[in-house]
Structure 1
């Protein structure tokens, strides 16, 4: 069953999974508790998730460097680490990872040692410096992987009718924060047809809010 469920999730994809869960909630499946229980708060609110967007080659290189910063690894271990951190959503193929590692080696960002028939990659000084230059982007991507992992967990629980733990719905977010996120989404949807001046005003408000949030949690 787990293998078949994983296959189904890959076929559904982000947006299709959202529609499926919405239909399940509407018709009372998954224990009959609607969006407040078995569906774990999965509502397609992560735009990149619902569009199924993965990472570019440059972003993949940064992710590999970030993992190697934690410990030297074989290519296969790096693939499994990315798969694990995203709860199965992001699993780059060897055809993507090994060329990226070769390119990083050519740049001098990683070093390679031979361990039997396998290569072990480690972060080099140049790679560490490059990571520091892009630390904010790396932290954002790692946070995104964690967020997607929570989404995938909610989808799996919904499709199997399993009740999530109390803090699984939004990654331990308190109800007030979950409600505020929903209210923000609704407010933005209601401004879809406003003029450019009003859009600029809204953008300024959101930028200020982001700065305050990051300033409080940074």
Structure 2
């Protein structure tokens, strides 16, 4: 899952991003609405977490832009205002969900996962293929009943490949969906991560390289 966090409280924004990255999400962070609009014009996000009360270009303006863009990006609005009127107004702007500060990080994660499932064709929270089971809610992975110890990026790559349901996924698409914008696109990070993931998945081989095209899952 690729997430944009737009929050002017820098400590909060950085803490949220750090926590989400530990859960294998690709996260870009900005601290104002203008920067959020710039990122949205460049990258595709599954979910945008917007502080409604950012200075300058507010979260309301960014939300309107997303709603009118047809990008499919879901919006989780953050606000310090707990009143029903504020929540109704935010949802009326096109937000998909609302969370009042202060919030529990676990609740933020649960809401993001729910929104992500709505940003693509409906997918179950548990993905299975060729004996591989990935539980998005519990953030666990196994093959043939044996737990897999995966790094955050290995988990993210496996998630993308399982979502593809056997279709070939290019290295470029993996880079876009599993890494944030700070990753050098000319490095061999995708190939290295796929190589270690393939080893951890074990035998019989299930993660295949399709020459000059990309990677796919399937025995």
Give the TM-score normalised by the residue count of structure 1: 0.32
Bigger helix share: 1
Which one has the bigger strand percentage? 2
Q: Which has the larger radius of gyration?
A: 1
Bigger relative CO (Cα 8 Å, ≥ 6 apart): 1
